[in-house]
C-alpha cells in the first residue's frame, strides 16, 4: 500500500517532467525502430514497457529506459542475418533471461569502478552528439531521426554540408527559433518558471503545431510538409492494430545464432544500462544511489516482456534520463508517466501527434544536449588538473567520434594508466641525483604495499649510495606483497652487506593478510647530510 500511495502521490509534481520525456522519447522510439529494420510500433512498445514496467521495478529515481541507439547496429545486423523479426524476438527474450541472471549474481557491482570524470565525459560527449545531430533537424533536414549515440554512425558523408544547406527549410528554422525562445524563457523568466504543471516543452510543441497550421492554412511557402513531421502509424480499426503487433517465432530457440545474438544484446545492453545508471545518479539533484543489481533484474524483466509482445530490446538511456533530470523529475513516477503517455497517445490520438514538427523536438533536444556539455563542466575538470582532465576530454572525443562503449573504454584505460602511474611513483621513488647528498634515509611504508609499488621501491633502493643508513619502517603496515618482501630481504641481506649500507627494519611481520581496500600515503623521509 505504501508503494502504491507514494507512486500516485508523486503524479502532480512529476507530470511535467514525464510529459517532456514523452515528447523526447516519441520520435526516438520511432526512429530507432526504423534504423534497426524493425516495425515502427516495436520501438513504441519498448518505450511503453521501459516506462511502465522497468520504471516500476527499478529503484532509480531519474533513469528512463527504452530502445537505445547503441543497439541499433546489433539489431539491424541480427534481423538481416536471421531473416525474420519474429526470430529476433527470441534473442530479445534470451537477453532478458541473461540480464536477470546477471542481476542475481550481482554483476551490477562493476559500475562502482567507473570514475566520475569518465562518466561526466560520457555525458558531455553525448550532449555534443545530441546538438550536432539535431541541428540538421532544426534546419528542416530530416533524413533520419534515430538519435545516434555516435556522430559518424553511418559513416562520414562528404556531401553532407552541401545537402544540408540546400535542404534548409525557412519554416522549420522559424519553428526552431520560436521553440528555443519559449524553452529559454520558461527556464529563465521567474513568472514562467512558477507554472510547473505546464512544461516549456509542451508550450513549444503547441506553438510549433500552431505556427505550421497557420503556414499551411495561409498557403505560405513556410508550411512544413509531412516529411518534416512526426510519423506514427494510424490504425483504422482494431484489426489494423493487431496486424501491427508481431509475436516471436519460438522455433528461434532451436537456432544457435539466436542464442549468440541474445548473449551479445545482454552484454551490451547491461553495460550501457550500468553506465547510464551511474550518469543518472550524477544528474539526480539529491544524489540518491541506485541498486544496480536490482536495475539489471528490472531490465531483464522489461526485455522479456517487450520481446514477448513484439518490442525492441531496451536499456537505460542517457538522452531521456538527462531530459528527465533537467525538467525537474523527483522520482520514478516521471518515468512511468512517460510510458503511460506513450501508450495512451499512440492508441488514441496518433493523428494529433503527427502534426508535431520535428524541428520543435530538435529544439528540445538541443537544449538538453547543451546542459550535458556546458562549458562550465569542461572548465571544472580543467581546473582539477591533467589527471582528471585528460581522461575526461579523451572520453568526450572518443564518444563523439567512435561510440559510447568504446569512448568509455578509452577513458577507463587512460584513468587506469594514471592510477597505476600514481601508485608506482607515490612517494617511493627518489632519483640518484636526489639521493646524492643523502646519508640517512627513512622509508615509511603505508598500510598496504602492493605490486604496484614494486617498481618505485626498487628504483629507490637501487639509488641508495654505499655507506648510507636506511630505515624501512613497516610498523603501520598490515599487508606487503610477497615479491616486495623478497626484494627488501635481498637488499638487506646481500647488497647492503656488499656496499656497507646499514639497514634497519622496523615492524615487519612473519606473514601478512590479504590486500585491504584503503590506500594511505606512502612516505619517504630523507635526512640530508650536515654541511
Question: What CATH code is carried by the domain that includes residue 504?
Answer: 3.30.750.24
Spell out, as residue ranges, where the chain has pLDDT lower than 70: 1-9, 142-161, 196, 421-438, 512-531
Q: How far is CA 90 from CA 36, 82, 273, 287, 343, in A?
A: 16, 11, 21, 37, 23
Question: Is 459 in the same domain as 512?
Answer: yes
Q: What is the pLDDT at residue 154?
A: 55
CA distance 123 to 381: 13
Burial 317-329 (b: 16+ CB within 10 A, else e): bbbbbbbbbbbbb
Q: Are 313 and 267 in contact (CB under 8 A)?
A: no
Question: Is 121 in the same domain as 170?
Answer: yes
Domain final residue, candidates 348, 383, 399: 399
How many domains would you assign to the chain?
2
| Domain, as residue range, for 167 | 2-399
**Is residue 100 assigned to a domain?**
yes
Q: What is the pLDDT at residue 233?
A: 79
* pLDDT tens per residue across span 74-85: 898 899 999 999
Q: What is the pLDDT at residue 142?
A: 67
Q: What is the pLDDT at residue 531?
A: 37
Q: How far is CA 423 from CA 79, 387, 520, in A?
A: 47, 13, 11
3-state secondary structure 466-495: CCCEEEEECCCCCEECHHHHHHHHHHHHHH
Scan for cell 563542466, then name that residue.
377
Q: Which of 121, 222, 225 is nearest to 170 (CA)?
A: 222
Q: What is the pLDDT at residue 484?
A: 85
Q: What is the pLDDT at residue 11?
A: 86
Question: Is 330 in the same domain as 225?
Answer: yes
CA distance 49 to 21: 14
CA distance 422 to 391: 14
Question: Is 480 in the same domain as 382?
Answer: no
Question: Is 393 in the same domain as 442?
Answer: no
**Is residue 428 assigned to a domain?**
no
**Is residue 433 assigned to a domain?**
no
**Is residue 251 assigned to a domain?**
yes
Cell of 229: 513531421
Domain final residue, candidates 337, 371, 399: 399
**Is residue 386 assigned to a domain?**
yes
Question: Is 382 in the same domain as 477?
Answer: no
Q: What is the pLDDT at residue 486?
A: 86
CA distance 18 to 51: 10
Which residues on adjacent β-strands are paired with residue 473?
A: 444, 506
Question: Is 247 in the same domain as 388?
Answer: yes
Question: Is 340 in the same domain as 445?
Answer: no
CA distance 315 to 252: 23
Which residues on adjacent β-strands are paired with residue 504?
A: 471
Q: Which of 462, 331, 442 is nearest to 13 (CA)?
A: 331
**Is residue 388 assigned to a domain?**
yes
Question: Is 187 in the same domain as 82?
Answer: yes
Question: Is 352 in the same domain as 481?
Answer: no
**Is residue 95 assigned to a domain?**
yes
Q: Are 44 and 346 in contact (CB under 8 A)?
A: yes
If phi > 0 it is left, if psi is from -120 to 50 it is alpha, else beta; for residue 527 that is beta
Q: Are 308 and 249 in contact (CB under 8 A)?
A: no
Scan for cell 551511474, then name that residue.
278
pTM higher than 0.85 for the full model? no
Cell of 38: 524493425
CA distance 496 to 114: 44
In degrees, rounded to 5, the angle at the alpha carbon of residue 53 between the alpha carbons of residues 51 and 255 is 105
Cell of 350: 496518433
In degrees, rounded to 5, the angle at the alpha carbon of residue 344 between the alpha carbons of residues 1 and 97 is 65
Question: Is 394 in the same domain as 442?
Answer: no
Domain final residue, candidates 340, 369, 399: 399
**Is residue 302 assigned to a domain?**
yes
CA distance 531 to 34: 80
Radius of gyration of the chain (CA): 29
Question: Is 199 in the same domain as 275?
Answer: yes
Q: What is the pLDDT at residue 28?
A: 87
Amino acid at each position: 500500500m505504501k508503494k502504491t500511495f507514494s507512486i500516485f502521490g508523486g503524479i502532480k509534481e512529476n507530470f511535467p517532467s514525464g510529459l517532456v520525456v514523452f515528447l523526447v522519447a516519441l520520435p526516438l522510439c520511432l526512429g530507432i525502430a526504423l534504423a534497426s529494420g524493425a516495425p515502427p510500433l516495436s520501438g513504441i512498445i519498448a518505450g511503453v514497457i521501459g516506462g511502465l514496467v522497468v520504471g516500476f521495478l527499478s529503484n532509480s529515481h531519474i533513469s528512463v529506459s527504452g530502445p537505445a541507439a547503441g543497439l541499433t547496429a546489433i539489431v539491424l545486423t541480427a534481423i538481416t542475418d536471421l531473416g525474420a523479426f519474429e526470430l529476433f524476438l527470441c534473442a530479445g527474450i534470451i537477453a532478458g533471461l541473461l540480464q536477470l541472471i546477471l542481476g542475481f549474481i550481482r554483476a551490477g557491482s562493476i559500475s562502482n569502478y567507473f570514475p566520475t570524470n569518465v562518466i561526466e565525459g560520457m555525458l558531455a560527449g553525448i550532449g555534443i552528439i545530441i546538438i550536432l545531430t539535431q541541428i540538421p533537424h532544426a534546419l528542416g533536414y530530416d533524413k533520419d531521426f534515430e538519435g545516434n549515440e555516435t556522430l559518424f554512425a553511418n559513416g562520414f558523408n562528404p556531401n553532407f554540408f552541401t545537402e544540408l544547406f540546400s535542404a534548409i527549410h525557412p519554416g522549420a528554422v522559424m519553428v526552431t527559433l520560436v521553440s528555443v525562445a519559449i524553452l529559454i524563457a520558461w527556464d529563465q523568466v521567474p513568472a514562467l518558471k512558477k507554472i510547473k504543471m505546464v512544461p516549456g516543452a509542451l508550450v513549444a510543441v503547441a506553438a510549433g503545431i500552431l505556427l505550421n497550421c497557420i503556414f499551411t492554412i495561409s498557403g505560405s511557402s513556410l508550411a512544413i510538409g509531412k516529411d518534416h513531421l512526426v510519423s506514427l502509424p494510424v490504425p483504422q480499426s482494431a484489426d489494423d492494430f493487431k496486424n501491427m503487433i508481431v509475436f516471436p517465432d519460438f522455433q528461434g530457440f532451436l537456432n544457435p545464432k539466436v542464442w549468440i545474438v541474445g548473449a551479445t544484446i545482454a552484454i551490451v545492453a547491461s553495460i550501457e544500462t550500468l553506465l547510464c545508471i551511474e550518469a543518472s545518479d550524477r544528474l539526480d539533484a539529491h544524489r540518491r544511489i541506485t541498486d544496480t543489481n536490482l536495475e539489471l533484474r528490472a531490465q531483464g524483466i522489461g526485455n522479456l516482456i517487450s520481446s514477448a509482445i513484439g518490442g525492441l530490446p531496451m536499456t537505460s538511456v542517457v538522452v531521456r534520463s538527462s531530459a528527465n533530470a533537467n525538467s525537474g523529475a523527483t522520482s520514478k513516477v516521471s518515468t512511468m508517466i512517460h510510458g503511460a503517455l506513450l501508450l495512451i497517445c499512440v492508441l488514441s490520438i496518433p493523428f494529433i501527434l503527427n502534426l508535431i514538427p520535428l524541428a520543435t523536438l530538435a529544439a528540445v533536444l538541443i537544449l538538453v544536449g547543451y546542459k550535458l556539455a556546458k562549458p562550465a563542466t569542461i572548465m571544472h575538470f580543467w581546473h582539477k588538473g591533467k589527471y582528471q582532465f585528460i581522461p575526461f576530454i579523451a572520453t568526450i572525443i572518443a564518444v563523439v567520434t567512435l561510440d559510447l562503449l568504446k569512448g568509455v573504454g578509452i577513458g577507463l584505460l587512460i584513468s587506469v594508466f594514471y592510477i597505476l602511474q600514481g601508485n608506482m611513483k607515490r612517494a617511493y621513488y627518489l632519483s640518484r641525483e636526489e639521493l646524492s647528498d643523502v646519508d640517512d634515509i627513512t622509508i615509511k611504508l603505508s598500510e598496504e604495499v602492493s605490486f604496484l609499488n614494486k617498481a618505485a621501491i626498487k628504483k629507490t633502493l637501487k639509488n641508495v649510495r654505499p655507506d648510507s643508513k636506511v630505515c624501512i619502517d613497516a610498523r603501520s603496515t598490515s599487508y606487503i606483497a610477497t615479491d616486495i618482501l623478497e626484494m627488501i630481504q635481498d637488499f638487506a641481506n646481500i647488497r647492503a652487506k656488499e656496499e656497507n649500507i646499514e639497514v634497519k627494519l622496523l615492524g615487519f611481520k612473519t606473514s601478512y593478510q590479504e590486500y585491504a581496500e584503503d590506500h594511505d600515503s606512502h612516505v619517504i623521509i630523507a635526512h640530508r647530510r650536515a654541511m
